[in-house]
């Protein structure tokens, strides 16, 4: 499973590698809008820009969502088992796992001290 990875305190430029396991990866942001159907979305002022800026437009969990065409480069780590997660935590100390800005590839983030 992929996790975004960051530190509690980051430099303004945010270009420093947060840990040795981190790799830069281009992620696909998901753009959710609070209307239930694509038909409702078509009536909104933001629809044209939202539609043209994304792909795979769909209805999901009572909202509409698309995958943004423009990717974002972010630091990620791959952790596939509970054992790997525990070893990672033992190496870096107290970590926080939280929901994050949704991306197609991951919706979780690990924050390091």
The structure tokens 């959710």 sit at 32
The secondary structure of residue 103, as a DSSP letter, is B
In sequence order, the β-bridge partners of residue 108 are 99
CA 109 → CA 11, 14, 62, distances in Å? 18, 15, 24
- What local confidence, expressed as pLDDT, does residue 9 receive? 76
Whether 60 has a pLDDT exceeding 90, the answer reads yes
Whether 84 has a pLDDT exceeding 90, the answer reads yes
Nearest by Cα to 109 from 32, 31, 10, 34 = 10
Q: Where are the domains of the chain?
A: 1-24+72-113, 30-70
The residue-averaged pLDDT of 77-86 equals: 98
């Amino acid at each position: 499973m992929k996790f975004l990875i960051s530190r509690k305190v980051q430099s303004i430029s945010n270009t420093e590698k947060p840990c040795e396991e981190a790799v830069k990866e281009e992620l696909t942001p998901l753009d959710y809008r609070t209307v239930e159907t694509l038909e409702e979305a078509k009536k909104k002022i933001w629809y044209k820009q939202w539609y043209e800026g994304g792909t795979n437009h769909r209805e999901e969990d009572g909202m509409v969502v698309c995958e943004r065409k423009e990717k974002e480069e972010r630091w990620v780590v791959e952790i596939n088992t509970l054992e790997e997660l525990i070893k990672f935590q033992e190496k870096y100390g107290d970590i926080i796992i939280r929901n994050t800005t949704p991306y197609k590839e991951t919706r979780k983030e690990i924050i390091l001290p």
